[in-house]
């Protein structure tokens, strides 16, 4: 009997990351979810690690380091290597779904764009996070009484997770008849250089559709965004977002002033602190609960804390275990027939 793999995992940490040192991560985590949460047969799952070296000097000097002892190649060489890998996989396992895990930032987005019309592929950090968060946002609106097309959404963090979710929101708004260019104006991104605006030097291509024209951002149009860090509260007061989504990986970024700024402009603001692990949460539910005087609609990634005054409750947890396993299920009939 020939077993056809359903999923192959390709983590690719960049500079300063542990490289091949964390090779067990996809095997222990995602593969178990595919079987436990979606019923995908374990014999149809194959973890693979693409080792392209590491730029971490500490690991290169460590005699116990298990990966290649060389620095990472330039981007064009790396992508050529991945092209060769993907072609080989399709030749041997033509029906499988490629699950790219833990590729960072620009690489994660570039790989999806590169292969989405060529092979069945999926990135949980981008697409899984986006799907679950959009579902959470839609359910939060059932509490606040609004509609998606009437929301203004401010992201703190402008990496691949933020872009993936922003793109999915634009797609969802498109199904409600909202033009993409109009939908994107309902979304603003804020990163370590401040608000993402047109004209910022070296703005990555994936941010360009969401770059706000300077004329539309009066509090920031006089700033040198390369050297100054506009306050988040000022961005909130300018945009008056109905939803604040944290994907910054900066712990406690949602300060008391930030939460209270959201409360000034909304009877019940939507606040999602999605970074993980717990020490990287932008805020804790109990803090936002107190600072907003209870009237906020939360979601966090990992917190298990019980909050509440009169009636204790647990904040909803955003986890991709309810979305990512299903991404591989359509491949299983093809695997069985093969």
Domain ranges of the chain: 7-119, 127-319
Confidence of residue 212 (pLDDT cuts 50, 70, 90): confident
Confidence of residue 184 (pLDDT cuts 50, 70, 90): very high
Instruction: Please tell me which residue, 248 or 305, carries the higher pLDDT value.
Output: 248
Fold match, 7-119 / 127-319 = yes
Q: Where are the beta strands (DSSP E) in 253-308?
A: 270-273, 297-300
In this prediction, what percent of the chain has a pLDDT beyond 90? 26
pTM, rounded to two decimals: 0.79
Measured in degrees and rounded to the nearest 5, phi and psi for residue 297 equal -110, 105
The pLDDT of residue 13: 42
d(CA 247, CA 130): 11
Range of 106-115, 142-151, 229-238, 268-277 with top mean pLDDT: 142-151
Give the other-Cβ count within 10 Å of 69's Cβ: 12
**Chain mean pLDDT for the chain:** 77
The pLDDT of residue 337: 47
d(CA 252, CA 241): 19
The pLDDT of residue 15: 39
Tens digits of per-residue pLDDT, 24-81? Answer: 455 567 777 778 877 778 888 888 888 888 888 888 898 888 888 888 889 899 899 9
The pLDDT of residue 336: 45
Q: Mean pLDDT throughout 284-291?
A: 82
CB 195 within 8 A of CB 189: yes
18 SS3 class: coil
DSSP 103-167: --HHHHHHHHHHHTTTS-EEEIIIIIHHHHHHHHHHHHHHHHT--GGG--EEEE--SHHHHHHHH
Instruction: Please tell me which residue, 127 or 299, carries the higher pLDDT value.
Output: 127
Instruction: Please tell me which residue, 191 or 153, carries the higher pLDDT value.
Output: 153
Tell which CATH architecture fits domain 127-319: 3-Layer(aba) Sandwich (3.40)
In this prediction, what percent of the chain has a pLDDT beyond 70? 73
If you classify domain 7-119 with CATH, what class do you get? alpha beta
């Amino acid at each position: 009997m020939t077993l056809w793999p359903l999923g192959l995992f390709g983590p690719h940490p960049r500079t300063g990351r542990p490289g091949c040192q964390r090779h067990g991560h996809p095997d222990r985590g995602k593969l178990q979810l595919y079987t436990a949460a979606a019923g995908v047969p374990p014999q149809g799952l194959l973890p693979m690690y693409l080792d392209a070296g590491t730029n971490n000097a500490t690991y290169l000097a460590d005699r116990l380091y298990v990966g290649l002892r060389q620095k990472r190649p330039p981007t064009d060489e790396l992508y050529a290597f991945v092209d060769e890998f993907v072609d080989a996989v399709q030749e041997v396992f033509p029906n499988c779904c490629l699950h790219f895990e833990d590729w960072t930032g620009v690489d994660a987005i570039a790989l999806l764009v590169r292969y989405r019309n060529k092979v069945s592929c999926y990135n949980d950090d981008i697409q899984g996070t986006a799907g679950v968060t959009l579902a959470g946002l839609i359910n939060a609106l059932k509490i606040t009484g609004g509609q998606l097309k009437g929301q203004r959404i401010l992201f703190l963090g402008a990496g691949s997770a933020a872009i993936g979710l922003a793109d999915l929101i634009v797609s969802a708004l498109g199904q409600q008849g909202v033009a993409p260019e109009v939908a994107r104006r309902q979304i603003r991104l804020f990163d370590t250089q401040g608000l993402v605006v047109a004209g910022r030097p070296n703005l990555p291509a994936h941010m360009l559709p969401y770059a706000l024209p300077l004329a539309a951002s009066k509090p920031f149009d006089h700033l040198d965004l390369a050297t100054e860090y506009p306050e988040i509260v000022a961005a909130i007061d300018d945009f008056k977002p109905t939803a604040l989504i944290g994907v910054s990986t900066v712990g406690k970024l949602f300060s008391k002033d930030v939460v209270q700024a959201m409360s000034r402009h909304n009877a019940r603001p939507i606040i999602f602190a999605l970074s993980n692990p717990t020490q990287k949460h932008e805020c804790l539910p109990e803090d936002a609960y107190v600072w907003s005087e209870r009237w906020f609609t939360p979601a966090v990634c990992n917190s298990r804390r019980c909050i509440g005054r009169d009636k204790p409750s647990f904040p909803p947890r955003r986890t991709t275990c309810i979305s990512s396993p299903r991404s591989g299920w359509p491949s299983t009939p093809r695997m069985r027939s093969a």
